[in-house]
Amino acid sequence: MERNILLTIEYDGTGFHGWQRQPEVRTVQGVLEEALSRVCATPITIDGVSRTDAGVHALGQRATFSGDFGIPADRIPIAVNGLLSGTDREGDLRIIESRQVPSGFHARFDAKGKKYRYMIRNEENMAVFLRNYRYQVSETLDMDAMRTAASYIIGEHDFACFQAAGGTPRETTVRTVTSLDIFQEGEPGARDISIEIAGDGFLYNMVRIITGTLVEVGRGKIAPEQMINILDSHDRGTAGHTAPPQGLYLVEVYY
Of 12, 47, 53, 92, the active-site residue reads 53
Same domain, 123 and 221: yes
Same domain, 129 and 96: no
Domain boundary among 69, 101, 133: 101
Same domain, 93 and 119: no
- pLDDT band, residue 89 (cuts 50/70/90): low
Is 107 domain-assigned? no
Give the total number of structural domains in the chain.
Answer: 2
Mark whether 235 is an active-site residue. Answer: no
Q: Is 116 assigned to a binding site?
A: yes
**How far apart (Å, rounded) are the C-alpha atoms in residues 231 and 177?**
13
CATH number at residue 74: 3.30.70.580
Predicted pLDDT of residue 82: 93
The answer, yes or no, to whether residue 94 has pLDDT greater than 80, is: yes
* Contact in structure between 196 and 115 (CB atoms under 8 Å): yes
Q: How much of the chain is in helix, strand and coil states, percent to nearest 5?
A: 25, 30, 40
Question: CA distances (Å), 181 to each of 40, 59, 82, 236, in order?
Answer: 41, 18, 37, 23
CA quadruple 130, 132, 134, 138: dihedral positive or negative? positive
Same domain, 93 and 117: no
**How far apart (Å, rounded) are the C-alpha atoms in residues 75 and 96?**
11
- pLDDT band, residue 185 (cuts 50/70/90): confident
Helical segments of 119-205, H only: 143-151
Domain boundary among 71, 101, 131: 101
Predicted pLDDT of residue 187: 65
Q: pLDDT for 99-142, tens place per residue?
A: 999 999 999 999 999 999 999 999 988 999 999 999 999 999 99
Same domain, 125 and 231: yes
Looking at residues 55-77, what average pLDDT do you find?
97
Domain boundary among 80, 101, 122: 101
- pLDDT band, residue 86 (cuts 50/70/90): low
Which residue segment(s) compose the domain that 30 sits in? 3-101
Is 86 domain-assigned? yes
